[in-house]
Chain A
Amino acid sequence: MSILPSNTKNSEEEIIPMVADEEITTDAGQGGELVDHGLLQFITAGSVDDGKSTLIGRLLLDSKALFLNQIKRLENGEDLAHITDGLRAEREQGITIDVARRFFATDKRRFIIADCPGHVQYTKNMITGASTADLAVLLIDARFGITEQTRRHSFICSLLRVPSIVFCINKMDLVDYSSDRFLEVTVALNELASHLNFANTHMIPISALEGDNVVDKGENMPWYGGDTLLHIIENEAIVYENDTSCPRFPVQTTIKPNNDGDHKSRRYAGTISGGAFCKGMEVIALPSKQCTTINSIHTFENEITSANAGTAVSISLSDAIDCGRGSTISPQNKQPLLATKAQGMVFWMTEDSMKKGKIFDFIHAGAQGKCIVSSVDEVINLSNLNIDIEVDKLQLNDLGKASFEFTNPIALDTFENNKTTGRLILIDPATNDTVASLIITNIE
């Protein structure tokens, strides 16, 4: 189907300058200056046919974020669900295979939606989307209630420490907008949520198709006194990765200015991944275990006296010590553990199974190297969240606990203490593929 603009006439009337016109008014723009209140990244997840694509179409349409060509397609009778369709194979099969990012803004906030696949075999792609999300929107078909995918996706988001979850009980139009049905589903969801670890949990009855409680409240569910989905995502606090009790500075690279000579002109570049660092702080570099103080902290523009988590800076140290890519700088009194053995939750993402004795390359914020699987300890059955300890391997899309030994000591935290330094990816040295994510739970 062609999306060529239909306006191909060549007449004087159509030459409308696009420059800002003071007379244009919008819902958002009357009066004062518009302000962007930050960027929220969220995922949409749930089972196939729960209505994710329709929900995204609805959100974009009602928040006036669709472009003219998309609106034309809607007017030509195209389904709301197909407005955001992606690749050829996806359109042919009518499914979502990989995460697509969609961008929209309201007068309150900017959003990036990671639109995640619902099929079990594409869970690895869902995890790619969830790993960077500030919030998860999980769809549930009101007719069926909690399914295996509800458990799987909510558990994965909880494990990845996505701060907030919004359960959207969708297709309320197909259960006569029944408050009793909504209550039934929320009772079961509350039970599920009690096993999970979200800072904020919301539940909303919606109809993505009709629009109720997505952007506007609508008239079909007067019994619902809560907020709409848009209201929640516009107002939820954005929690940056800021584990204040564990200041960490994994060194990405060393910057040597032209006139290299003095060690104080040498700078260690990286992104602060927890807490804050300040000039004069007594620090230790691991794995070399050498101590010094911070001589200076720089951005491109300025020398600064302190820097918080999430900022990309470069740091110079007061003494010439053994430090570089692969080192982690931390306060002397709040060090990570220098370990060669650790246990963690593994999400396995490739066809070949993971077994004891297999060797992988790993990438960690502060280190790269090799590790060996010491043991596969348990597998979580994601359909009912039961734990199976009689296992010897992890297979594609399995989540389970395993123990590893690293060839060199690395500066580790548990994922609970520091989201950045408590995670790794594993790479198959034969194919160079990323085959697993590892969330550290125990360090020896």
Chain B
Amino acid sequence: MLLNVKNNAASSAETLARLEAEAIHILREIVAQAANPVILFSGGKDSICLLRLMQKAFWPAPFPVPLLHIDTGHNFDEVIEFRDKRAKELNAKLFVKTVEEAIEKGIAKPIPGVISRNRLQSPTLLAALAEGMYDAAIGGARRDEEKARAKERIFSFRDRFGQWQPRKQRPELWNLYNARVNLGENVRVFPLSNWTELDIWSYIESEKLEVPSIYFSHQREVFMRYGQWLPVNDIEPKLPHEESKILPIRVRTIGDIICTGCVVSEASSVSQVISEIAKSTVTERESRADDLGSETAMEDRKKEGYF
């Protein structure tokens, strides 16, 4: 085994200031350039930081854009409660579009036998963007998460079919961003592109931001599948041979409850989470069963309109 013990420092105030200024610049630019922008808000840690940055960028004016959540219906209750509470605190409009409704309307078509609604998020999102006539959708994705994201521009153009075309990306120079689209097209805007997981947590600490409780250590009944501890849930019950146990766990990234891997952890405060991930030898996305399917899982989903 090659020696691979990492130990990174928490992000300094200087680094966070540089990243914050860049993100605020991007947010002001997209709100100024777009006719009808929307922020994707899931209640996860990245979008929590995004909302804080948006609040800062336009302070003391009211929160300038509506929030949109594409709800798979496979949720952690704590996160949904948190989502509604945060939107209320910010006095921001929150629109929730459910995969359930998209299935009923025939917008999203489940694949027989597949319980995960991950792939059904894309058509639901595209329909929601079309319905709201949004020409820009702002998201909290980061380039350190995954290799398709690592290639994506900060202002990422999507065609009429919502597709990301990795070979035809617009050049993006300096901080001069181009949000221009024709009717039916949109840009996805990622102000946190240059942030890392460690930056996010360092920012949560420095801004004293509240996050859903499942990011911290708690006792939960979990079972092992695909090398991951998955939460025991009613939607996709564990198989008879899969043994469950109650462990002190936390989540690093929140997705559909049936594919969100939990890490065994006793980190119960933001600073303990920071120490933990500073030494982590696996990436955040490795705790998402939806990205472990193939080498190009994310790339393929982005081509279908996924965030």
Q: Which residues of A contact B (CB under 8 A)?
A: 1, 3-8, 10, 15-21, 24, 26, 28-29, 33-39, 41, 61, 64-69, 71, 74-75, 84-89, 91, 97-103, 105, 107, 110, 112, 124-125, 127-128, 131-132, 240, 252-253, 255-258, 269-271, 299-300, 310-312, 314, 325, 349, 361, 363-365, 420, 423-425, 427, 432-434, 437
Interface pair A128/B265, CB less than 8 Å apart: no
Interface pair A7/B166, CB less than 8 Å apart: no
Selected from A17, A99, A365, the residue in CB contact (under 8 A) with B264 is A17
If A18-B263, A19-B266, A424-B176 touch, whether A24 touches B5 (CB-CB below 8 Å) is: yes
Cβ of B2 within 8 Å of any chain A Cβ, yes or no, is yes
Q: Which residues of A contact B1 (CB under 8 A)?
A: 71, 75
Interface pair A107/B9, CB less than 8 Å apart: yes
Q: Which residues of B contact A (CB under 8 A)?
A: 1-12, 14-15, 17-21, 24-25, 28-29, 31-32, 55-62, 143-144, 147-148, 150-151, 153, 166-167, 169-178, 180-182, 193-194, 196, 198, 217, 224, 226-227, 243, 247-248, 263-267, 272, 275-276, 278-283, 286, 292, 295-296, 299
Interface pair B227/A255, CB less than 8 Å apart: no
A38–B14 CA distance with the chains assembled, in angstroms: 6
Interface pair B272/A20, CB less than 8 Å apart: yes
Interface pair A15/B264, CB less than 8 Å apart: yes
Interface pair B267/A87, CB less than 8 Å apart: no
Nearest CB in chain B: distance from A61 CB, A: 8
Nearest CB in chain B: distance from A132 CB, A: 6
Interface pair B279/A427, CB less than 8 Å apart: no
Interface pair A434/B170, CB less than 8 Å apart: yes
Pick from B9, B32, B178, B295 the residue with the most CB of A within 10 Å: B9
Q: Which residues of B contact A257 (CB under 8 A)?
A: 60-61
Interface pair A26/B275, CB less than 8 Å apart: no
Interface pair B9/A36, CB less than 8 Å apart: yes
Interface pair A8/B7, CB less than 8 Å apart: no
What does DSSP make chain B's interface, helix, strand, loop or mixed? loop
A397–B199 CA distance with the chains assembled, in angstroms: 36
Interface pair B58/A124, CB less than 8 Å apart: no
A89–B266 CA distance with the chains assembled, in angstroms: 41
Selected from A36, A97, A256, A423, the residue in CB contact (under 8 A) with B12 is A36
Q: Which residues of A contact B62 (CB under 8 A)?
A: 258
Q: Which residues of B contact A100 (CB under 8 A)?
A: 147, 150-151
A98–B166 CA distance with the chains assembled, in angstroms: 8
A300 to B, closest residue via Cβ? B56
A16–B147 CA distance with the chains assembled, in angstroms: 28
A240–B62 CA distance with the chains assembled, in angstroms: 32
Q: Which residues of B contact A84 (CB under 8 A)?
A: 147
Pick from B17, B32, B174, B286 the residue with the most CB of A within 10 Å: B174
Interface pair B28/A69, CB less than 8 Å apart: no
Interface pair A253/B10, CB less than 8 Å apart: no
Interface pair A68/B4, CB less than 8 Å apart: yes
Interface pair B176/A364, CB less than 8 Å apart: yes
A325 to B, closest residue via Cβ? B32
Interface pair B276/A4, CB less than 8 Å apart: no
Interface pair B151/A98, CB less than 8 Å apart: yes
B268 to A, closest residue via Cβ? A19
Interface pair B276/A3, CB less than 8 Å apart: no
Pick from A37, A68, A240 the residue with the most CB of B within 10 Å: A68
